[in-house]
Chain A
Amino acid sequence: MTDADLSASDTPERRRAAWMAAAQGGDRLAYERVLGDSLSLIRAAARRQGVSVDQLDDVVQETLLTVHKVRHTYDPSRSYDAWLSAIAGRRAIDALRSHGRRGRRELHDEHAYDTVAELDDATAATERDQEARRLREAIASLPPGQREAVEQLGLKEHSLAEAAAQTGRQTGALKVNLHRAMKALRARFHGDP
């Protein structure tokens, strides 16, 4: 697809729909454009669900990953914005639920509050956020099998059996993928081979 295919009179929504249709056919440029153009829509959908500003990036990230997995479900004859907003809304609800669960676990851990001296240190918090973001991006850039292993075993803390049941992969393959993923992440962050 070229820019010539999209006339200047096209609305932004029609432009995004055309880009996504081209992306379904494998057009990388159109895909990166439509994802870049979708960020404000994702943030708007997340805010409508009541997601706080500090969680917006998580929702954006999760939504982009979901869009990548389910891009075949988009029907170019229908609204791209409605399709994307529905996914973003769902991911926003997931983030709120997960945040609520984490909050309940952490609120009563007074010892942690006492021992973490830099809790209110904005600089340290920003650095932690940046590190977390770098890690999320590094995980997202892993090959699908390795990323799946890290998500299931590392982030969601599923057992091997649960992860195998959910992904349909052998436990051995999951272990190998996790090992390779950890090696790749170590190499990326510490320069280890």
Chain B
Amino acid sequence: MVESRLPESLIHSLGAQLTPVRRLPPPWLRTAGWLLAVAVIATGLLLHYGTEHMLRRWAEEPDIALAGMGAVVTAVCAAWAAFALGVPGRSPNWAWLPLPGLLLWVGASGLGCLRDLVAPIAPVASAHQAGDCLVFIISFSVPLSLLLIALLRRACSLRPVRTAVMIGLASAAASSALLEICHGFAVAATDLLMHALAVGIVVAANAAMGGRLLQPSLR
């Protein structure tokens, strides 16, 4: 097959417009930058609420500690996956990275919920208090998602919806982990449902807007 004429003039004009660029830092470093913001919020909450209540609750119900650890691992892995997916040529399999943390988070929460049905230790949240959890998770997820989107707009996400799902998951998981600092209830079914609903809303909202927000360089 005969190849068409090379677009030399375009290459020449792009060469004429060339300026040095600052390379995108590696995904792990950008993940660390976002986690620093999460750590600052966590420090503020810890200073306000103290650690005593949280540690006592963990000692009484170790599955809550496990669920919190799962949420932290999910947040770290999902943020890392989002930054990796934002670089052309990286494997789409990065989207599976948060799965083990997610399984630990959901599994430990479910186990805690079952155990509290059989032998409750901590007080169970009312529907109104469970609603507060929903507001907390969404309120913290919004700025954390916006920060991730801002950090990712300089990248070039070729799979914007998948990246946006990772952003939603990272933000919701981080917000759930932050909620553990001041969460005063056992993992009852209503509360767990509300947490799941909050995570679902955050992930779905990111997925719905991700394509438009994450691709300034492809438009």
Query: Looking at chain A, what size class is its interface with the partner chain?
Result: 35 or more
Is B179 interfacial (CB-CB < 8 Å)?
A: no
Give chain A nearest CB distance to B162 CB in angstroms: 13
Contact pick for A32, options B3, B4, B15, CB 8 Å: B15
Contact (Cβ within 8 A) B10 A79: no
Is B217 interfacial (CB-CB < 8 Å)?
A: yes
Q: How far is the CA of A4 from the CA of B11 in the complex (A)?
A: 23
Q: How far is the CA of A102 from the CA of B218 in the complex (A)?
A: 20
Number of B positions contacting A (CB below 8 A): 35
Name which of B18-26, B117-125, B185-193 contacts chain A.
B18-26
Contact (Cβ within 8 A) B1 A31: no
Which residues 21-78 in B have Cβ within 8 Å of A in the complex? 21-24, 26
Contact pick for B13, options A43, A82, A137, CB 8 Å: A137
Which residues 81-107 in B have Cβ within 8 Å of A in the complex? 86-89
Give the interface SS of chain B, mostly helix, strand, loop or mixed: loop
- Identity of the chain A residue whose Cβ is nearest the Cβ of B25 in the assembled complex: A75
Q: How far is the CA of A95 from the CA of B20 in the complex (A)?
A: 29
A69 partner residues in chain B, CB cutoff 8 A: 156, 217
Contact (Cβ within 8 A) B18 A28: yes
Which residues 35-81 in A have Cβ within 8 Å of B in the complex? 35-36, 39-40, 43, 53, 56-57, 60-61, 64-66, 68-75, 78-79
Q: A86-B158, A141-B9 are in contact. Are A79 and B14 (CB under 8 A)?
A: no
Q: A56-B4, A87-B158 are in contact. Are A36 and B18 (CB under 8 A)?
A: no
- Chain B residues engaging chain A, CB cutoff 8 angstroms: 1, 3-4, 6-24, 26, 86-89, 154-156, 158, 216-219
Q: 9 other contacts beyond A23-B18, A56-B4, with CB at 8 A cut-off?
A: A24-B23, A26-B19, A35-B14, A36-B11, A57-B7, A70-B217, A89-B158, A90-B88, A144-B17
